[in-house]
Amino acid sequence: MRIIRLYVDLPLNAETRVELPEGAAHHLCKVLRAKVGYDISLFNGDGFDYSARVADIGKKSVWVEITGKTSGPARSPVQVHIGQVISKGDRMDYMVQKTTELGVTQITPLFGERCDVRLDEDRQSKRLQHWQQIALHACEQSG
């Protein structure tokens, strides 16, 4: 059985019990159908992976017991930064997903002279949040 890897925006410590955020809890229990006792791996961007076990499942909450802390996936000594002109449709989403899966450390969206995409400030903010979510999901999937 494969170990599910989830991102949580919480401080994590070994030998503690935490409640998963609503989105992660829904994904774990409703989408992946995890049950009590299921082993998972949590990460929060601090460079470590935390082994955990599903301890309790409520209607809208999931509690996990963190059982251990290990160093995260090995990082490449090469730090790759990509500057990408914003493209139409879902092509930018695909680029963010695949480059994150390949281990790119930074992506900078650019506006080009011949770029057809124009975003106002509000739309820019929403697109940036959307791309960050895509990158997080790609990290969960690829390690």
Nearest to 92 by CA among 128, 55, 63: 128
- Choose the CATH number for 4-71 among 3.40.47.10, 3.40.50.300, 2.40.240.20, 3.10.20.30: 2.40.240.20
In angstroms, rounded to a whole number, what is the distance separating the alpha carbons of residues 110 and 118?
11
**pLDDT score, position 1:** 64
Mean pLDDT by 10 residues, the chain (143 residues): 84 91 88 90 88 91 92 76 88 92 88 80 89 88 70
Q: Long-range CB contacts (< 8 A, 24+ apart) of 48-57?
A: 48/12, 48/72, 49/5, 49/73, 50/12, 50/14, 54/28, 55/17, 57/29
**pLDDT score, position 107:** 92
In angstroms, rounded to a whole number, what is the distance separating the alpha carbons of residues 74 and 67?
21
Domain boundaries, the chain: 4-71, 81-142
User: What pTM value is reported for the model?
Assistant: 0.69
**pLDDT score, position 101:** 87
**pLDDT score, position 78:** 82
Q: Does the 81-142 domain belong in CATH 3.20.20.70?
A: no
**pLDDT score, position 74:** 61
